């Protein structure tokens, strides 16, 4: 079974004095590790000279004290943890991407997925650009670099480039003298801004990373906003704000974000408890104990318990030294990981009717295994509840769901899925209530729930997750060539 692949995590810090910012980035990336466990990287700016290191692995596997010290001191740093939603998992695709050009170096870290990267990359390749990775992040770096050669400032280059980018992108960009953060006009992915008492300015994906470096949240970047930080302070460019309805990915609240983070003014922990409470109202059941599947099912289980009055219990123990199941390539490896990742606590389960809450069902294999674990531990009944609606559609904005083929809800009814996973009953959160998880406290409003309801805020892209590794489809190439000829003739 494939658990949902997460987003990436980005971080940037500007300091008023030279410091060992690699350590600050290291702490922040540790806090963001849940957003990407395939690769990690840090780039340091020392008066325009960039030192960087990136590799495959977890943060603590990629960096040790020697590597951090080798990055030296600087006044600006950017960092990134990656899960591959576009482009394969290899060292060439690790971020931040560092570009050296006539206007000076640039480092870029990206969270999200473009829906028009296929077209943009083909146009750039036709113009002679050579790519070293298979990520849409490198496409963005080329576009910014090209615009930089024609404009007077890096922020204006970013502003012009945003006109060409469609889809999800939260970016942190480091130039020789500036730290820039920007968010796509839909606001698909979170990006926040904070400050420290020493005058440092921090941009990052989640507030938990602000906490890790001692920064205080100032606010979220608005969808479409560009923020620039340099020796003159922090300023905002809002040319792209307010053009479309905001569409924050609702799965940030359900699964992606850490429960101690705050997104758009709403606590992730409280949002997940609210999901559990909605589940209790939508799918009540007579039971003796409510347990959650670690980690993101725990908060929802607590909410279900509080709403229903059924006691909450710790019924599954997670091996904290095992990464999330989607990390391992290949179905057999994923199933092996499930066997050692979770262990039931029989005293909580034996002889009881159990409400078992998880954040999602994708293919159903892991859910079946977990239900079996709980039954083997002595449960009389297992009532499975899901704190998300059924996945019915691919996601094109960064989540690793690029086909309906492997989505169990696309091929089976709820009753059939219940039978497949071996539960006594099954209930999903409704789309209507999923859109209420922020509890009305969100400051910008509006969610993307296209993976549940099929209502995409943008056009959908050509190709899938690995489209840059695949051969260009003949029909697309013919269509694109015809368009190019028409443009040349005009």
- Give the β-pairing of 248-249 and 447-448: parallel
Q: What is the pLDDT of residue 88?
A: 55
Q: What is the pLDDT of residue 317?
A: 94
Q: What is the pLDDT of residue 463?
A: 58
C-alpha closest to that of 326 among 384, 414, 256, 412: 256
Residue 173, by phi and psi: left (phi above 0), alpha (psi -120 to 50) or beta? beta
The size of the chain, in residues, is: 490
Whether the model pTM is above 0.75: yes
Q: What is the pLDDT of residue 105?
A: 94
Between CA 120 and CA 213 the distance in angstroms is 36
- Work out the number of other CB atoms within 10 angstroms of the CB of residue 162: 24
- Nearest 5°: the CA angle 153, 157, 162 is 150
Report how far apart, in Å, the C-alpha atoms of 201 and of each of 26, 216, 231, 300, 314 are. Answer: 16, 10, 11, 34, 40
Report how far apart, in Å, the C-alpha atoms of 47 and of each of 72, 73, 196, 456 are. Answer: 12, 10, 21, 43
Q: What is the pLDDT of residue 332?
A: 52
Buried b (16+ CB within 10 A) or exposed e, 40-79: bbbbbbbeeebbbbbebebbeebbeeeebeebebbbbbbb
Residue 8 is among the residues annotated as catalytic for this protein: yes
Outline where DSSP puts E strands in 184-332: 192-195, 201-204, 216-220, 226-230, 233-237, 248-249, 262-263, 266-267, 289-292, 316-318
- Nearest 5°: the CA angle 35, 56, 36 is 5
- Of the residues 8, 182, 192, 448, only one is catalytic, namely 8
Give the residue ranges of DSSP H helices in 172-295: 207-212, 251, 268-282
- Supply the DSSP symbol for 253: I
Strand ordering across the sheet containing 353-358: 289-292, 353-358, 381-386, 425-428
- Supply the DSSP symbol for 73: -
User: Percent of the chain having pLDDT more than 90?
Assistant: 77
Residue 57 CA to chain centroid, in angstroms?
A: 17
Q: What is the pLDDT of residue 83?
A: 81
pLDDT tens string, the chain, 490 residues long: the values are 344 544 699 999 999 999 999 999 999 999 999 999 999 999 999 999 999 999 999 999 999 999 999 999 999 999 999 986 545 557 889 999 999 988 889 999 999 999 999 999 999 999 888 898 888 999 999 999 999 999 889 999 999 999 999 999 999 999 999 999 999 999 999 999 999 999 999 999 999 999 999 999 999 999 999 999 999 999 999 999 999 999 999 999 999 999 999 999 999 999 999 999 999 999 999 999 999 999 889 999 999 999 999 999 999 999 877 654 444 444 455 555 666 789 999 999 999 999 999 999 999 999 999 999 999 999 999 999 999 999 999 999 987 776 888 899 999 999 999 999 999 999 999 999 999 999 765 444 689 999 999 999 999 876 554 554 453 444 443 444 333 333 333 2
**3-state SS assignment for residue 425:** strand
């Amino acid at each position: 079974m494939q658990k949902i692949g997460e987003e990436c995590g980005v971080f940037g810090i500007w300091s008023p004095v030279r410091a060992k910012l690699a350590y600050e980035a290291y702490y922040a990336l540790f806090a963001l590790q849940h957003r990407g466990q395939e690769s990690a990287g840090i780039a340091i700016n020392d008066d325009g000279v960039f030192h960087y290191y990136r590799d495959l692995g977890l943060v603590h596997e990629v960096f040790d004290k020697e590597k951090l010290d080798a990055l030296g001191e600087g006044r600006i740093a950017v960092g990134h943890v990656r899960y591959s939603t576009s482009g394969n998992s290899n060292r060439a695709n690790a971020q931040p991407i560092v570009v050296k050009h006539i206007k000076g170096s640039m480092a870029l870290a990206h969270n999200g997925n473009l829906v028009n990267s296929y077209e943009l990359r083909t146009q750039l390749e036709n113009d002679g650009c050579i790519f070293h990775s298979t990520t849409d992040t490198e496409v963005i770096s080329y576009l910014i670099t090209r615009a930089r050669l024609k404009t007077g400032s890096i922020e204006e280059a970013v502003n012009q480039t945003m006109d060409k980018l469609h889809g999800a992108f939260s970016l942190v960009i480091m130039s020789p003298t500036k730290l820039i953060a920007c968010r796509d006009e839909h606001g698909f992915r979170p990006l926040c801004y904070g400050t420290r008492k020493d005058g440092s300015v921090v941009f990052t994906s989640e507030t938990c990373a602000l906490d890790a470096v001692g920064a205080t949240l100032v606010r979220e970047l608005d969808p479409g906003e560009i923020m620039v930080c340099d020796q003159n302070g922090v300023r905002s460019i809002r040319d792209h704000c307010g053009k479309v309805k905001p569409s924050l990915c609702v799965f940030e609240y359900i699964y992606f974000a850490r429960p101690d983070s705050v997104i758009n003014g709403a606590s992730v922990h409280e949002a997940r408890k609210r999901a559990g409470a909605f589940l209790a109202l939508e799918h009540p059941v007579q039971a003796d104990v409510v347990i959650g599947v670690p980690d993101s099912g725990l908060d929802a289980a607590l909410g279900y318990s509080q709403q229903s009055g059924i006691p909450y219990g710790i019924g599954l123990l997670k091996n904290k030294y095992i990464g999330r199941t989607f990390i391992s390539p290949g179905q057999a490896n994923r199933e092996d990981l499930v066997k050692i990742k979770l262990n039931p606590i029989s005293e909580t389960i034996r002889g009881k009717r159990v409400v078992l809450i998880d954040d999602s069902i994708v293919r159903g294999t892991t859910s079946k295994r977990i239900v079996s674990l709980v039954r083997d531990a002595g449960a009389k009944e297992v009532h499975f509840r899901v704190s998300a609606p059924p996945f019915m559609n691919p996601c094109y904005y960064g989540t690793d769901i690029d086909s309906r083929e492997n989505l169990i809800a696309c091929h089976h009814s709820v009753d059939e899925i219940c039978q497949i996973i071996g539960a006594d009953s099954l209930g999903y959160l409704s789309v209507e209530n999923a859109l209420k998880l922020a509890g009305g406290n969100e400051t910008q409003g509006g969610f993307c729930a296209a993976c549940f309801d099929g209502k995409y805020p943008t056009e959908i892209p050509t190709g899938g997750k690995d489209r840059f590794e695949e051969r260009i489809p003949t029909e697309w190439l013919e269509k694109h060539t015809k368009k190019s000829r028409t443009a040349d003739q005009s």
